[in-house]
Amino acid sequence: MSVTDWLTRWQQGRIGFHRSAVHEALPEHWHELALSAGDRVLVPLCGKSLDMRWLAAHGHPVLGVELSPLALEQFVAAGSEPVDHDRRGGFARSRQGMIELLQGDFFYLEADLCADIAAFYDRAALIALPPATRQRYAHHLAQLMLPASRGLLITLTHDGEGGPPFSVDHDEVVQLLAPNFEVRLCHSAPADDGLIESVWRLRRKSPCC
């Protein structure tokens, strides 16, 4: 899916991947990462996910990165706190309470903007990307995360060929992420419409010397 296709989806409201409630896997499994209040969380390809508000409500400053300006406009418009706007590192930035949003291409996010990130949350980033882009995503995510940082990943598998959401099976998750992360499957079960949803816990390995 091209940049233009993604932006067009938001403009046309074709965002069936967006959930109108917090994903149930977040409160069920987030505690397994054993983070502390105040630990900052990266949410790649965040859209206008309500999961970011859940994370902030549980004491985590959030850094969301999203290509669509419309998604971020809708997110902050739904909030009650004041919003500050500026630019940082080539991104348009919005700040609302404990949530910082960068509008731009995740692949241009540099490590200095993530220097204090302790964890990441990926509900709809990896499965939003076509096969040719997923390896690049996994590598870039690893470059942004410090050793011992942790993450929660949610994936879907299905029989269809299209997306998003794209089908990412268990073997591919391990192939993509195991070189740089310890990967553990927490839960896998059927979801709606013939989908199988899986929840993964990850921990960034120390780079080899």
- Cβ atoms of residues 67 and 28 within 8 Å: no
| pLDDT tens digits along 51-67 | 999 999 999 999 999 99
Tell me: is residue 19 an annotated ligand-binding position: no
Domains and CATH numbers, the chain: 3-10+23-204 (3.40.50.150)
Sign of CA dihedral 18, 34, 138, 166: negative
| Residue 40, marked binder | no
6 known member of a binding site: no
Look up residue 135 and give its two tokens: 């390896």
> pLDDT tens for residues 86-114?
999 899 999 999 999 999 999 999 999 99
Q: Give the model confidence (pLDDT) of 129-183 as tens digits.
A: 999 999 999 999 999 999 999 999 999 999 877 778 899 999 999 999 999 999 9
Q: Looking at the whole model, is its pTM more than 0.85? A: yes
Q: Is residue 183 within 8 Å of residue 200, measured between CB atoms?
A: yes
Task: Check whether 146 is labelled as a binding-site residue.
Answer: no
Residue type, 208: C
Amino acid (1-letter code) at residue 74: Q
